[in-house]
């Protein structure tokens, strides 16, 4: 009898996992956090044309969820605003701005179509990523702040320390991997942690990497 109960329990757990994964693949899934996803579904129309400045005022999890709900044109618009911000920074040299102009020239709506083939873009970005680290002396956190998020430097610093605190918490760290992927292996994470590539990551419409255009395939660890 106990053996039958154990078998039934395992079967129920298996079905729950399968249902969760399937649910994350639905068209209306913009976050694998149910509360965030519900909020995005209810508010995506209202925020469909939001500016970069307005988007950045929201909690970052909501920002990511909303970005996943945007049209390809709106996604490009958000990152174009980031590019204009970068071009106005006095802390960046002319050569750094030239490198940023080069990679932002690859920002097109084609990156954001549901079945987009991003292999060519990934190759271009990986080469660019190596060059800015090797020739300009950038840290990977600089690459992240300039190309993986629409946040300004000040906004990024505020968010980063909150993110770092969560990632450093043993309790939260142990449960994080059960929810969803949160990084793209070849581009890494915003800080000193590495992106551990994991097969079987729970997927949704949320993307990672440069311009948040690449499917997430790992966990920051």
- Positive or negative, the CA dihedral 90, 92, 95, 99 is negative
Query: Which DSSP state fits 46?
Result: T
C-alpha closest to that of 63 among 73, 72, 53, 77: 53
Spell out the alpha helix ranges (H) of 88-138.
94-104, 119-135
pLDDT score for 221: 77
pLDDT score for 14: 42
Phi, psi of 70 (to 5 degrees): -70, 155
Average pLDDT, stretch 54-78? Answer: 96
Distance CA 75, CA 93 (A): 27
Residue with tokens 């660890």: 221
Residue with tokens 């920051």: 220
C-alpha closest to that of 209 among 104, 132, 122, 105: 122
Q: What angle do CA 157, 167, 65 make, to 5 degrees?
A: 70
Q: What angle do CA 77, 181, 7 make, to 5 degrees?
A: 145
* Joined tokens for residue 41: 């579904």
pLDDT tens-place string over residues 167-183: 655 555 544 445 578 88
pLDDT above 90 coverage of the chain, percent: 56
pLDDT above 70 coverage of the chain, percent: 78
pLDDT score for 54: 98
Q: Are 182 and 209 contacting, i.e. CB atoms less than 8 angstroms apart?
A: no
pLDDT tens-place string over residues 33-52: 889 999 999 999 999 999 99
Residue with tokens 């997927």: 203
Distance CA 66, CA 48 (A): 8
Q: Band the pLDDT of 78: cuts 50, 70, 90.
A: very high
CA 126 to chain centre: 17
pLDDT at 63 over 50: yes
Q: Band the pLDDT of 91: cuts 50, 70, 90.
A: very high
* Joined tokens for residue 59: 């909690």
For the chain, the structural domain boundaries read 34-220
* Joined tokens for residue 188: 């890494």
Distance CA 47, CA 42 (A): 10
Residue with tokens 């610093």: 157
């Amino acid at each position: 009898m106990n053996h039958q109960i154990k078998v039934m329990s395992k079967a129920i757990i298996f079905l729950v996992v399968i249902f969760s994964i399937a649910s994350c693949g639905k068209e209306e899934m913009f976050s694998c956090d149910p509360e965030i996803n519900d909020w995005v579904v209810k508010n995506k129309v209202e925020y469909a044309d939001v500016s970069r400045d307005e988007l950045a005022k929201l909690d970052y999890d909501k920002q990511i969820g909303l970005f996943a709900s945007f049209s390809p044109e709106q996604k490009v618009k958000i990152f174009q605003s980031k590019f204009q911000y970068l071009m106005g920074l006095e802390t960046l040299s002319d050569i750094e701005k030239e490198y940023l102009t080069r990679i932002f020239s690859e920002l097109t709506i084609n990156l954001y179509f549901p079945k987009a083939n991003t292999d060519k873009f990934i190759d271009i970005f990986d080469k660019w990523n190596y060059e800015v680290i090797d020739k300009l002396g950038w840290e990977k956190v600089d690459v992240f702040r300039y190309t993986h998020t629409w946040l300004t430097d000040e906004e990024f610093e505020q968010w980063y320390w909150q993110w770092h605190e969560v990632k450093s918490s043993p309790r939260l760290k142990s449960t994080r991997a059960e929810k969803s992927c949160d990084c793209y292996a070849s581009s890494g994470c915003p800080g000193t942690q590495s992106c551990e590539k994991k097969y079987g990551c729970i997927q949704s419409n949320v993307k990672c990497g440069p311009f948040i255009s690449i499917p997430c395939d790992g966990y920051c660890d």
